[in-house]
Amino acid sequence: MACPREVVLDALHQLAPTHLAESWDNVGLLVDPGERTEFERAFITIDLSDTTLEEALSSKADFIVAYHPPIFSGLKRLRWDQPAERIILRALREGLTIYSPHTALDAVPDGMGDWLARAVGPGRIKPIVPHESDSAAGSGRTIRLDRAISIDVAISMVKSHLGLSTLRTSRAGTELPITNVGVCPGAGGAVFEHLKRVDLLITGEMRHHDVLNFRARGTHVILTEHTNTERGYLPYLAQDLRKTCPGLEVLLSQLDADPLEIA
């Protein structure tokens, strides 16, 4: 079975409208050999590396959804001896189409940002920086919890939500209950600059001095490593794509992983 090309592209536009992406980002259809009128098998990964590209080829995928755009800063050359450029050359040679949703998927209502906010339980969720066209969309999320929790409970909940056994944490030296939380997939430093005080921040990575500053202000910080705030949402993206594109087989990478590990 297969799904028409335009149906697949339209589905991704609906799931992660490109106008919601950050101005610095590079989202949407990035590599388009133009050879296919329909797609049979989509492959979803956070990062498109030599390893995950080989996995996609082995699975006979003809369409790749790479959350992080493999073409980000302006490419001026395409050379086989440069890893990032080689990936694009190989994709073109194999006739693979590549699409990236990145910050559009973060920003869309009920997308990655909302999913990450739910790590600490139910509550009222809203964007940290609302998008000008949709107040329910935007960068980052705050959640005002229905029920206050402790930092120890928050750490346990985040581990469970993200499927992790370890986290990096900065405790603010207060045992006051946590009721207001800020989250951002990936790296939240710039987004968190727009926040007034919250009890806890959750993101993948943060600069050392920013962590110190937040701790001094009485805010706990939980860091998961960059892609660990993102990867757990991919099964939901795959499920939505299957629903909107009957006939399209959707596969999740089994080899995609954060490049950092505890040694």
Which domains does the chain show, CATH number per domain? 3-104+231-252 (3.40.1390.30), 106-229 (3.40.1390.30)
- For 183, the token pair is 């989250």
Mean pLDDT for 67-82 is 92
How far is it, in rounded angstroms, from Cα 123 to Cα 206? 25
Name residue 205's beta-bridge partners. Answer: 187
- Cα–Cα dist 243/212, whole Å: 44
Cα–Cα distance for residue pair 129/145, rounded to 1 Å: 19
Of 100, 46, 95, the C-alpha closest to 229 is 46
**98 Cβ contact list (under 8 Å, min separation 6):** 29, 30, 31, 48, 64, 66, 70, 91
Angle at 13 between CA 41 and CA 61, to 5 degrees: 15
SS3 67: coil
Kindly indicate the confidence band of residue 186, based on its pLDDT and cuts at 50, 70 and 90.
very high
| Interatomic CA distance for residues 219 and 230, integer angstroms | 23
- What SS3 class is residue 165? coil
**How high is the pLDDT of residue 50?**
96
The model carries a pTM of 0.95
Helix (H), strand (E) at residue 214: helix 208-216
Residues 110-158: tens digit of each pLDDT: 999 999 999 999 999 999 999 999 999 999 999 999 999 999 999 999 9
Instruction: Please state the rounded mean pLDDT for residues 243-256.
Output: 97
Give the tokens for residue 197.
């005080």
pLDDT averaged over the chain?
Answer: 96
- CA pair distance 117, 156, nearest whole angstrom: 14
